[in-house]
Structure 1
């Protein structure tokens, strides 16, 4: 068959695209080339936590007068401002901040930092989780010919601690990495007893704790960072996605003082486009908005969390789902049935976009009318 279209001939896709060509996006809506408005309950998988084209962040980009680019070996005042802001808002004692272009690079830097500080080469991750698209980050949760990763099987309960200790006992593990709430494992919420026990075991065996807050950070679960639910003090934290509310690519790796010192002495990471000036302007505006409006955002998150759960409880599903919900991270689990995928596809045709597998990540500041309209479509798609 002859290939004529530019898309098929020249553009490589990693997976089958949805039949939707985006022309614009605003608030909780995506607009197609044909002008159809879709209610967005996916937020680009936890990127648009403040909706699309957020006024304050848009204004920061429009008014940006800084340099086009900064060579990484030079200095730039807004870098210091953003690093200071991130150290202020993140939990624990994360005082040193490294620049990254996004989540994958942020995790790569975290792995390098853990090896530099401990002198160890092994890592533990949750089986089936997701931490990025590079060979190293893919190897964390899959089979890799290059690295020796260990996997801890979910669910994460107090009983899991015995398995974790077996993996740690040899004192060869540089770090244990996890999302405090595993978004790619259907919003899997660990038990508090596991999290406390995990921290104690990691301290006992000299293993660092990496909290991957790329998807969970910036309010998605109802706390500014999901780590705060569990009273964990991470040695390293990775952030990206909602850091700029999707306005520009950016990520960051935050380390405590001791790990940061080891990283700078042993293996300072180089990132050509890490913290591009325009991305930094967007990120600073985003962080400052969260600082100023976090209380009112929390009120809306709590209200919407209760409203969504109320609506779910009233819906007549063909197969009753298990509901994994924390803040504005929600997954309707239908087990091995493909019912959830069918509901997601029917909802898409009616104008509602869900994340994969009947997962919902609405904007944190979504208004009631939009939330109700989206849930009405969901109910009509059952």
Structure 2
């Protein structure tokens, strides 16, 4: 295994990297520079929902014959086509679609829109969640000196509604932002009663609801969008990651018409590379793939969900574990123990890629043979 020596003179690593250099990827496998295949149960943290190098997405990119670039102040027909496709598949009454380069920018646009529409400055986010790596997005969940954010601590149950109402009744909160099922909080599922009560309170006090579906969107949790589990009518939704299946960088912020109109009048967001023509071609192919094959994908998700749940429940972990499994999003929580991190490292040496914790996001269309082989490696690594 070729490893990074951590002393690269020019390349600045954004986080601690795994000791593995990748040269290629295909379906549910990553291939190292030495040619060794690793089973990928991470999917780039909910990016490669259709596996890597999906044939229909690859075909769209290969056959792309459009412009190199389009200036944001011009019109481009595929922008209109993609916006129309997205407005038809997202839940609620979201019709105004703004271009973004990825999840962080999509969240930034959502925050701008909420401030513009409500005239308020405060936001509520879940304590410990993640919505991007800009100063504003990080400020949502950290003790930032730059912004006045409020943090709601999980668990999200009916008892938590009293605390939420105290925050909202000041009528200073522009929006509450959350993942409908929080990937970064261990695939945490809120109680249905909380979500319904949250929606009622936000409507009562004029606070917008932002559903961050950057990681949960496009089938990850078994619904096309996780918001559908809770019958929520969001004012704004952020999507990215699996929007293009990892084939090209892209994000989008979709909002109700009246919210979008207020943003257009106040401070229209400008994105130099938002919806690059090649990214749009890949995303249109990806959305159409989901429309065409969603029934088949749902069947595989349901089958694999039950298979992973069964196999994981039978494994003999060396520490007490709390499991949370929704669709193809899975987290094994070992509390304060570092056991999960040790298993993750052993699994990597044995040919399986999972996230620390242990957190797993296998491809939605993963086949049984690959899933079994990966779980066998995980069990071997315990």
Aligned to 1:204: 204
In 2, distance between residues paired with 1:111 and 1:314? 44
Q: Secondary structure at the match of 2:210?
A: strand
In 1, distance between residues paired with 2:344 and 2:155? 25
Question: Which shows bigger deviation, 313-322 or 224-233?
Answer: 313-322
Gaps of 5+ in 2: none
- Residue 63 of structure 1 deviates from its aligned partner by 0.3
In 1, distance between residues paired with 2:249 and 2:136? 21
In 2, distance between residues paired with 1:18 and 1:5? 11
In 2, distance between residues paired with 1:30 and 1:220? 20
In 1, distance between residues paired with 2:307 and 2:89? 28
In 1, distance between residues paired with 2:309 and 2:343? 17
- Residue 79 of structure 1 deviates from its aligned partner by 0.1
Aligned to 1:278: 278
In 1, distance between residues paired with 2:354 and 2:304? 16
Gaps of 5+ in 1: none
- Residue 14 of structure 1 deviates from its aligned partner by 2.1
Aligned to 1:142: 142
Aligned to 1:264: 264
Please give the per-residue CA displacement for 1:341-378, whole angstroms capped at 9, x wherever unaligned: 11111111100000221001000000000000000000
- Residue 5 of structure 1 deviates from its aligned partner by 8.0
**TM-score, length of structure 2 as denominator length:** 0.98
In 1, distance between residues paired with 2:326 and 2:87? 25
Please give the per-residue CA displacement for 1:94-131, whole angstroms capped at 9, x wherever unaligned: 00000000000000000000000000000000000000
Aligned to 2:374: 374
- Residue 256 of structure 1 deviates from its aligned partner by 0.5
* Equivalences, count: 379
In 1, distance between residues paired with 2:14 and 2:273? 23
Question: Which shows bigger deviation, 9-18 or 63-72?
Answer: 9-18
Aligned to 1:99: 99
Q: Does 1:52 align with 2:57?
A: no
- Residue 54 of structure 1 deviates from its aligned partner by 0.5
Aligned to 1:9: 9
In 2, distance between residues paired with 1:18 and 1:127? 27
- Residue 319 of structure 1 deviates from its aligned partner by 1.6
Question: Which shows bigger deviation, 93-102 or 315-324?
Answer: 315-324
Distance 1:341 1:5, change over 3 A: closer
Question: Which shows bigger deviation, 4-13 or 278-287?
Answer: 4-13
Aligned to 2:224: 224
Aligned to 2:20: 20
Aligned to 1:172: 172
Aligned to 1:304: 304
In 1, distance between residues paired with 2:301 and 2:209? 28
Conserved 8 A contact 2:334-2:357? no
What does 1:343-354 align with in structure 2 at a 5 Å threshold? 343-354=343-354
Q: Secondary structure at the match of 1:70?
A: coil
Please give the per-residue CA displacement for 1:179-203, whole angstroms capped at 9, x wherever unaligned: 0001001111100000000000000
**TM-score, length of structure 1 as denominator length:** 0.98
Please give the per-residue CA displacement for 1:131-162, whole angstroms capped at 9, x wherever unaligned: 00000000000011211000000111111101
In 2, distance between residues paired with 1:289 and 1:225? 15
- Residue 320 of structure 1 deviates from its aligned partner by 3.1
In 2, distance between residues paired with 1:41 and 1:320? 22
Aligned to 1:288: 288
In 2, distance between residues paired with 1:129 and 1:7? 31
Q: Secondary structure at the match of 2:353?
A: strand
- Residue 265 of structure 1 deviates from its aligned partner by 1.0
Conserved 8 A contact 2:340-2:356? no
Question: Which shows bigger deviation, 144-153 or 73-82?
Answer: 144-153
Distance 1:162 1:247, change over 3 A: same
Please give the per-residue CA displacement for 1:274-304, whole angstroms capped at 9, x wherever unaligned: 0000000000000000000000000000000
Alignment RMSD, CA only?
A: 1.1
In 2, distance between residues paired with 1:195 and 1:98? 26
- Residue 7 of structure 1 deviates from its aligned partner by 5.8
What does 1:52-91 align with in structure 2 at a 5 Å threshold? 52-91=52-91
Aligned to 2:333: 333
